[in-house]
Structures are given as C-alpha cells and as structure tokens.
C-alpha cells in the first residue's frame, strides 16, 4: 500500500490569505499546504480520506486519476467542501463512489449536498455517491480498516487504522488521526504497534479543538509508532526549522509526501 499526502494544512491552508509572515511568504514548497487529506492506494485502487475544498487542485497537482471509495473523518468545511469534485472520478471509473461515515456525517452530507439526492437533476452535473455506515472493522480495496473515535473539542471524529487484508501480505499498519484534542484510552489502544502514524498538530501551543505540538509529541512518545508525521499544520510551522528540532522518527508531513508500506 502507498500513502500520498494530498494536503497537510489546517483549515485556512498555508499561505493564509493576506498573511505576510515568513512561512506564508516562504518559497519552500513544503510550506505550501492544501487542506488536510490523504489518498491510500492499494492494488491499483485508491481510498480518499475526506474531500477538502481544493480536491480538484490536489488531484491535478499529484496525479490522482481514480478514487474508489471515500472515508470521512468529520464534516467541518475544510474536510467536506470538495465533494462535488468526485464527479470526475465517476466519469473516469464509470461507477458510483461509496462514501463511508457515521450517521452524523451522512446527515451532514445529505444536508450540505441535497442536490445530489434529489431526483430532479440527473446527468453529469452532480456526483454519484452511495452513503455507507462505517463499521468498527471492514475491508475495502484489499485493506483491513479499523475505525474508532477521537475527540475534536466536543465533536467525535473518526480515526482510521489500515493494514493489508491478505494475511500473506506485509503486516505493516498505519493510522490517520486528524482534528483531535483528546484520544480516549480505548482509542489509544487501537493505535499501538503502528509502523506509521499521521497525527494532528495544528500549532506550537495547545488549541481548544486540536493538540498542539508538545501534546502531539507526548502522544507519539506514549504510542511509540516506528514513524510519525504531523499534519493539519498551520502557518506557525516552518517546515525545515521545526523538522530540525523534532526527534528523528517524527517529521512534519508535507503535500505530495508519499510513503510505501
Ligand atoms: Zn480540519
Ligand atoms: Zn502566515
Ligand atoms: Zn475539524
């Protein structure tokens, strides 16, 4: 399996509109961050996590030619409002795209994208998706996936753990945990023995609905994944300067980062 980071940025993206800070003015491409999303490729198929507002640009920039399924973490605007761009993947694959989320996520999608579910409009003008309940464990695109909750302030957000479904394949596993301020003990247990962890770290200091850098490092210290990448990053992180101060197995994610497991 291969993980492609489509976006490593917080809800504003980086650069931030109208900001003149050194990170927003930086010429380092690793300081340019689309809104947060990853693509998990396996056996010539691809699972997208969240549909950020820049999905079209992310797909064009990083050569994403197919999406076979979408998993949602939650429905904040920075994770949801690129869903209409799924149309193009319907056209390419000539099939509906299954979209996974809990009841609250599905209700938000039905409300925000009510035109998708109305019978009055048809043709290529709207995405063709089917909504599915996310289960604690399921298999998709040859991958075994576990879902569990973390807290984003008061909001429960879905986190996902992946490994190959084929028991003869590599046992490597990774998890994607974005938009989190607290990980309940039972979810911490689901995050042990990871080869790779993607974890939220929105800014250097604690935030009401996100872990800050030091809290993220404490979580990583407790969980001991082999490698960890911090994501959902704001303009307070200069990629090279912060990376130079992090432990060697922890790095800032960046748009276009690709990892094979
Ligand atoms: Zn977010
Ligand atoms: Zn800035
Ligand atoms: Zn959020």
Residue range 91-121, pLDDT digits in tens: 999 999 999 999 999 999 999 999 999 886 5
Cα–Cα distance, 173 to 257 (Å, whole number): 17
- Say how many Å lie between the CA of residue 249 and the centre of ligand 2: 27
With a pLDDT cut of 90, the percent of the chain lying above it is 93
**Angle formed at CA 144 by CA 34 and CA 80, multiple of 5 degrees:** 30
Cα–Cα distance, 153 to 156 (Å, whole number): 8
- Say how many Å lie between the CA of residue 74 and the centre of ligand 3: 7
Kindly tell me the burial class for residue 154, based on how many C-beta atoms sit within 10 Å of its own C-beta (0-12, 13-18, 19 or more).
exposed
Domain ranges in the chain are 2-260
194-222 pLDDT, tens digit per residue, is 999 999 998 888 889 999 999 999 999 99
Model confidence, pTM: 0.97
- Say how many Å lie between the CA of residue 151 and the centre of ligand 2: 27
- Say how many Å lie between the CA of residue 177 and the centre of ligand 1: 11
- Say how many Å lie between the CA of residue 94 and the centre of ligand 1: 30
- Say how many Å lie between the CA of residue 124 and the centre of ligand 2: 38
At 123, the pLDDT band (50, 70, 90 cuts) reads low
Q: Tell me if the domain spanning 2-260 has CATH number 3.40.630.10.
A: no
C-alpha dihedral (50, 52, 56, 57), degrees to nearest 10: -120
Q: Which ligand is nearest to the CA of 25?
A: 2
Cα–Cα distance, 252 to 233 (Å, whole number): 8
């Amino acid at each position: 399996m291969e993980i492609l980071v489509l976006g490593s940025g917080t809800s504003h993206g980086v650069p931030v509109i109208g900001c003149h800070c050194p990170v927003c003015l930086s010429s380092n491409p690793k300081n340019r961050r689309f809104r947060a999303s990853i693509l998990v490729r396996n056996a010539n198929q691809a699972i997208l996590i969240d549909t950020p507002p820049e999905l079209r640009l992310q797909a064009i920039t990083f050569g994403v030619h197919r999406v076979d399924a979408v998993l949602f973490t939650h429905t904040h605007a920075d994770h949801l409002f690129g869903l209409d761009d799924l149309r193009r993947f319907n056209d390419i694959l000539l099939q509906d795209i299954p979209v996974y989320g809990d009841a609250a996520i599905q209700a938000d999608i039905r409300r925000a994208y009510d035109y998708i579910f109305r019978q009055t409009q048809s043709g290529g003008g709207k995405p063709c998706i089917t909504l599915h309940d996310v289960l604690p464990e399921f298999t998709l695109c040859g991958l075994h996936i576990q879902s569990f909750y973390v807290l984003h302030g008061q909001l429960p957000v879905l986190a996902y753990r992946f490994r190959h479904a084929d028991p003869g394949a590599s046992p490597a596993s990774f998890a994607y945990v974005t938009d989190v301020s607290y990980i309940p003990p039972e979810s911490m247990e689901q995050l042990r023995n990871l080869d790779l962890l993607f974890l939220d770290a929105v800014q250097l200091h604690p935030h009401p609905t996100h872990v800050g850098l030091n809290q993220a490092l404490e979580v990583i210290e407790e969980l001991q994944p082999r490698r960890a990448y911090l994501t959902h990053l704001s303009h307070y992180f200069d990629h090279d300067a912060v990376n130079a101060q992090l432990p060697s197995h922890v790095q800032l994610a960046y748009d276009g980062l690709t990892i094979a497991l």
